Chain A
Amino acid sequence: MRIELEKLRYGTELVKRGFAKMQKGGVIMDVTNAEQAIIAEEAGAVAVMALHKVPADIRASGGVARMADPKIIEEIMDAVTIPVMAKCRIGHVAEAKALEAIGVDMIDESEVLTPADTFFHIYKKNFTVPFVCGARSLGEAVRRIWEGAAMIRTKGEAGTGNVVEAVKHMRMMNHAIYLIRSTSEERLYSVAEKFASRYLELSRLVKEEMGIAVEKEIIYEGFTFEDIVEGIYDILLEIKRLGRLPVVNFAAGGIATPADAALMMQLGADGVFVGSGIFKSSNPQKFARAIVEAVQHFDEPEVVAEVSKELGEPMKGSEISKLTEFLQTRGT
């Protein structure tokens, strides 16, 4: 054979971000078993997210939410031909490595599960498999991208069936990007320093307890604070040049109806995650198909109206001000 093996490269940034780009304009649906995964694929989902429980049930049952049973994830992988994603806890490298080992196509390091690390997210550049991470703001998004996330999604407020938080996060992101475009390179550097300061938390706490100052210090995964600022500065320059995030940006967290999905697309989302909205509705098949069509035709009100007819009951949903627990504040 004449193949030069050294030229074949797995898990490069291009390969990981490329995978996320192939999902654009699509709907990714939360499923808890093979049967639901087949319904999602038949409805036209571009991928499924394998979960132990949908966010609404996680919210209702309380307790620690963890990675799904790998056996169930494998059953889902065997049942459908579209990509299968799965969630790991924030900072839980061992869960992520286990998910990579069984061959999931993308890992969601998700605030919907109970975080395993209050200081740091996973350094995702150490993985072959691509990651998606939630973000409420540009700062969160840029940190996740620096860590190696190939896709960003709004956090919204998962399991509520209430789109208001997803809208808030998309608007905050869009406005921040708008401001970045007209910010000088010099001032962008101070934005980078501000964004990177989140990584100092562990070091600050420890040094405060010890009462010492340290000059040059590795704070995360072999990087000094200055290294991280440089990395984040480069990402901000790229955002300024592109006028958008350098990775795909989906909407997630509270999308319950076709019109919700269309709204998020109108706000500039590259695609949509639907969690509890489909399998907590009274007619999952119909809801799933309707949301796929609404995303495709988000700018055609007649289509959105048509697919919204006689859908039956959407998930019940909850008022944000009545919540006692916010998933979106996890993992910043």
Chain B
Amino acid sequence: MRVAVVGVQGDVEEHVISTRKAMENLGISGEVIATRKAGIVSKSDAVIIPGGESTTISKLIFRDGIADEIIQLAECDRPIMGTCAGLIILSKFGDEQVEKTGTRLLRLLNIKVRRNAFGRQRESFQTKLQIKNIGEVDAVFIRAPIIEEVGSDVEVLAKFQEKIVAVQQGKILGLAFHPELTTTKVHEYFLSLF
């Protein structure tokens, strides 16, 4: 199995390490590749879009053709996961911040997101979070988005303070927080979707 981590910007290495550990824990043999250019995602079985700055990541993946490869992977029903900035980029609809910055979205998750929904960095936090199908994890929210609206085809996996922070649509996972900083449980669940 080959998992690609979109590596143009953000906490790429953390996702690579978490995915490798998850593979080990599940006894899956395979490789995890961080990629900054086109050609790798299309040859992978699954792809992860990490946390980072959504404005930056979006610009770079659309400019370099990685975006099209992710969309093609979705059409083949392969597992795709986005955390924080990655969640925003996977979404179909954004908020006024997404609009104002002209951030292009992949439109793969039938949801509407709101950027920086908890506030600025000083309002960032960590907490225990119960996630459906996965269990309790330590969740770190960093200038995190939330999911404001979900389509009927989208399953809500977790809420925090009544706000939706994790969803699944088919084999696509979207999380507002950063499991890659604290746990491999989410990555194990993600790999099990393949």
A interface residue numbers (CB < 8 A to B): 1, 3-4, 7-12, 14-15, 18-19, 21-26, 41-42, 44-47, 77, 81-83, 100, 103-106, 128-130, 292, 296-297, 300
Interchain nearest-CB distance for A84 vs B (Å): 8
Interchain nearest-CB distance for B186 vs A (Å): 15
In angstroms, Cα B178 to Cα A82, docked, is 18
Name the residue on A nearest B141 (C-beta): A15
Cβ–Cβ contact B85 & A22, under 8 A: yes
Interface of A is mostly: loop
In angstroms, Cα B120 to Cα A67, docked, is 20
Given contacts A22-B84, A81-B116, whether A41 and B124 have CB atoms under 8 Å apart is no
Residues in B127-185 with C-beta less than 8 Å from chain A: 127-128, 140, 142-143, 160-162, 178, 181-182
Cβ–Cβ contact A24 & B122, under 8 A: no
Segment with Cβ contacts to A, from B22-30, B49-57, B72-80: B49-57
Name the residue on B nearest A47 (C-beta): B53
In angstroms, Cα B52 to Cα A26, docked, is 9
Q: Which of these, B60, B121, B160, B182, contacts A19 with CB under 8 Å?
A: B121
Known: A25-B9, A105-B143. 8 other contacts (CB 8 A): A7-B127, A8-B126, A22-B11, A22-B84, A24-B10, A46-B9, A82-B53, A105-B122
Query: Top 10 A-B pairs ranked by shortest CB distance?
Result: A105-B121, A25-B9, A21-B11, A46-B53, A81-B97, A44-B59, A8-B127, A44-B56, A103-B120, A128-B122
Given contacts A24-B10, A296-B8, whether A9 and B127 have CB atoms under 8 Å apart is yes
Name the residue on B nearest A46 (C-beta): B53
Cross-chain pair count, CB within 8 angstroms:
125
Interchain nearest-CB distance for B182 vs A (Å): 7
Q: Which residues of B contact A3 (CB under 8 A)?
A: 160-161
Cβ–Cβ contact A105 & B120, under 8 A: yes
Interchain nearest-CB distance for A169 vs B (Å): 22
Residues in B47-101 with C-beta less than 8 Å from chain A: 51-53, 55-56, 59-60, 84-85, 97, 100-101
Residue B20 interfacial (CB < 8 Å): no
Cβ–Cβ contact A296 & B60, under 8 A: yes
Cβ–Cβ contact B121 & A83, under 8 A: yes
Cβ–Cβ contact A21 & B181, under 8 A: yes
Q: Which residues of B contact A41 (CB under 8 A)?
A: 55, 101
Name the residue on B nearest A81 (C-beta): B97
Q: Which of these, B11, B13, B124, B181, contacts A10 with CB under 8 Å?
A: B124
Cβ–Cβ contact A15 & B84, under 8 A: no
Q: Which residues of A contact B121 (CB under 8 A)?
A: 19, 83, 104-106, 129-130
Name the residue on B nearest A9 (C-beta): B126
Residues in B1-15 with C-beta less than 8 Å from chain A: 7-14
In angstroms, Cα B100 to Cα A41, docked, is 11
Interchain nearest-CB distance for A65 vs B (Å): 24
Q: Which residues of B contact A128 (CB under 8 A)?
A: 122
